[in-house]
Structure 1
Amino acid sequence: MDDKEVCGVDEQDEARGTWTGMTKNGRIGMMLSITQTQESKDLNAPSRGGIVNSFLKANDTSEIMESLKKDAGKYNGFQLVGLEQNDSGLYDVKTLTNQQVDKIEVCEWDDEYHVISNSPLTKSYQKAIYGRRLISQRLRDSNEMSVEQVFENLMSVATDKSQCYPDAQLQFQTQNTDEYNRPLSAIFIKYPEGTREYGTRCHTLLTINQDDHVSILERRFLPEESTWKDVRFEFVLNRN
């Protein structure tokens, strides 16, 4: 965290990019990959890591998303999610997706709850539909909850291991076996021991209250210790 942004840095990425970040004035950017087969990936494609950085630093987010739209085909599958406060203090949500869509365009969403996975919102995975139902239930009375209660309820969703399978959209994107797809169909991904070394290893939860106080909890898995570690950030938005 510095005086302008809160975000992680991908040390292995030459672009030193990030997949989730927030500015101190309230702009939020998130990058999700769009699931695709290994054969369809372009090994020479530019890194997607710098996209969120560009979004966070842009003077005008509409301009940066329109510019990105023109170059979106150069990248492997991605979905940029951008959030910005409007004049009412609420958040506008925009997405830009470059695969699994009829047309690459900036989309605006105004539903109360959004759950976005590794497919476009218009072609949601079953686990995203399931997750949206869980969130709508567990945050129904969020105005009456403390931050800790909100985090507890969100974490219960993030760690849900229910497999939402079969999933035609997931199967279409992976073109792989049931054995491969079943673990991917859960919100919390964990493959059986001795199979694929892939799974959920980080959760980032973020709340903003009506007084612009921001609370962030990151829970990260430390493989060398086989434990989870929590890091907290607290600050008040700077609207200037």
Structure 2
Amino acid sequence: MCIALISTAHPSYPLILLSNRDEFLHRPTAPAHWWSHPNTHILGGRDLQRAEQGTWLAITKQGRLAVLTNFREEGDTYVAQNKSRGGIPNAYLTQPPERRESSEEFARRLIEEVGVGHVGGFSLVFGEVRAGGEGGLEGLSIVSNRSVKAEDLVTIATKSGETHGLSNSYFGDRSWPKVVKGEAMLNAAIDDDQQRESGDQSAFIESLFEILSVDELPKRKQGEDWDVYVRQMRNSIMIPPVGGVSAESKPADTMASGKTGTDTPDHGNVEVHEFGYGTQKQTIILVDREGKVKFVERTLYDEDGNKMEVKDGQKEFEFEIEGWQT
């Protein structure tokens, strides 16, 4: 039940990205870092469980950005994942830094060479973050293997004033309350930051993490069917560790699994165990008008499912996008 929120509505930041990664808390995952050779131009976390060591969110020194969300597969529509979805962002990010590839060219390569079959449902937001006309960006694209045609692209973030959310459904699905509320809260945080006129980036970033930490998931009712309860996750931006015995054998994008364990009002004082599923990582990316990137990631739980202090789980990076004005 991941979520990505993207906005071009802040006058100081032509691009703002917020992301929650929801996963099994015990899944081996590397925190955000600059990758090793030959991909030293890529910054992001990596999934260590699959051979592809794919990512859900990363950005390159040249401003190439990719963020992936899974589809919630209802009933028997789950597709056997012979390939990791994390390899989809990798296919875009690991191109040689000097290579320029249009969104249409990448979508064609994704379908014809990388392949989108035998992989679970996904939506990928991707594009080169560069200065565009009238203070805007060149724009980002969205491709999905659950659209009518995988090569059908949606383009966003081409002008100022846009705010968009994407969770575990198709882009534009307004039936997910967490998406609608996330968009509204992000716009409100941007307005509040402008009214402060202090330019306090740290305070603004903290307000964005507050959005990603909104927990409105009710406790599971006694006797409530698990699949019915999982649908409640559409309402909550953050997913606390949740689950139960009936869910242990199901895939992560079909359900959530584990005992609850968080200090939020509805989910306190319950131990997390090895099958816990919930918001594992939170990421904020700010890109200013000079092309300077601020990347902040918070890991909420360690590999044993224990809650981490912010000071222990936070990693910050800053760099300037190469070719920002190109």
Number of the residue aligned with 1:16:
53
Number of the residue aligned with 2:153:
106
Number of the residue aligned with 2:186:
135
CA contact (8 A) 1:188 1:200 kept: yes
Alpha-carbon distance between aligned partners in 2 of 1:11 and 1:52, rounded to the nearest angstrom: 15
Q: From the two aligned structures, give the one with the greater helix fraction.
A: 1
Number of the residue aligned with 2:248:
none
Alpha-carbon distance between aligned partners in 1 of 2:291 and 2:77, rounded to the nearest angstrom: 43
Cα deviation for residue 161 of structure 1 reads 1.0
Number of the residue aligned with 1:160:
214
CA contact (8 A) 2:79 2:120 kept: yes
Secondary structure at the aligned position of 2:84 is classed as coil
> Which of 108, 114, 123 lines up with 1:66 in the alignment?
108
Q: Is residue 284 of structure 2 the alignment partner of residue 205 of structure 1?
A: yes
Count of residue correspondences:
228
5+ residue gaps in structure 1? 165-174
Secondary structure at the aligned position of 2:166 is classed as coil
Number of the residue aligned with 1:172:
none
> Which of 64, 70, 73 lines up with 1:33 in the alignment?
70
Cα deviation for residue 36 of structure 1 reads 0.7
Structure 1 residues 48 and 61, CA gap change in structure 2 (3 angstroms): farther
Number of the residue aligned with 1:216:
295
Cα deviation, 1:121-153, whole Å, max 9, x if unaligned, reads 221411101110111111125454432122111
Q: Calculate percent identity across the aligned residue pairs.
A: 23
Structure 1 residues 222 and 180, CA gap change in structure 2 (3 angstroms): closer
Alpha-carbon distance between aligned partners in 2 of 1:183 and 1:37, rounded to the nearest angstrom: 13
Number of the residue aligned with 1:170:
none
Cα deviation for residue 182 of structure 1 reads 2.1
Cα deviation, 1:11-35, whole Å, max 9, x if unaligned, reads 1111111111101011111111111
CA contact (8 A) 2:177 2:234 kept: no
Structure 1 residues 123 and 103, CA gap change in structure 2 (3 angstroms): farther
TM-score by length of 1: 0.84
Name which one, 1 or 2, has greater alpha-carbon Rg: 2
Alpha-carbon distance between aligned partners in 2 of 1:40 and 1:218, rounded to the nearest angstrom: 33
> Which of 200, 203, 206 lines up with 1:146 in the alignment?
200
5+ residue gaps in structure 2? 1-33, 219-225, 243-259, 261-269
Alpha-carbon distance between aligned partners in 2 of 1:122 and 1:208, rounded to the nearest angstrom: 24
Structure 1 residues 10 and 61, CA gap change in structure 2 (3 angstroms): farther
Alpha-carbon distance between aligned partners in 1 of 2:276 and 2:227, rounded to the nearest angstrom: 16
Alpha-carbon distance between aligned partners in 2 of 1:44 and 1:188, rounded to the nearest angstrom: 25
Q: Is residue 308 of structure 2 the alignment partner of residue 227 of structure 1?
A: yes
Alpha-carbon distance between aligned partners in 1 of 2:81 and 2:322, rounded to the nearest angstrom: 39
Secondary structure at the aligned position of 1:160 is classed as coil
Alpha-carbon distance between aligned partners in 2 of 1:26 and 1:90, rounded to the nearest angstrom: 14
Alpha-carbon distance between aligned partners in 2 of 1:142 and 1:66, rounded to the nearest angstrom: 40
TM-score by length of 2: 0.63
CA contact (8 A) 2:217 2:239 kept: no
CA RMSD of aligned residues (A): 2.5
CA contact (8 A) 1:69 1:96 kept: no
Secondary structure at the aligned position of 2:46 is classed as coil
Cα deviation for residue 66 of structure 1 reads 2.3
Number of the residue aligned with 2:231:
181
128-137 vs 105-114, which deviates more? 105-114
Structure 1 residues 9 and 44, CA gap change in structure 2 (3 angstroms): closer
Pairing of 1:46-65 with structure 2 (within 5 A):
46-58=83-95, 59=99, 60-62=101-103, 63-65=105-107
CA contact (8 A) 2:69 2:124 kept: yes
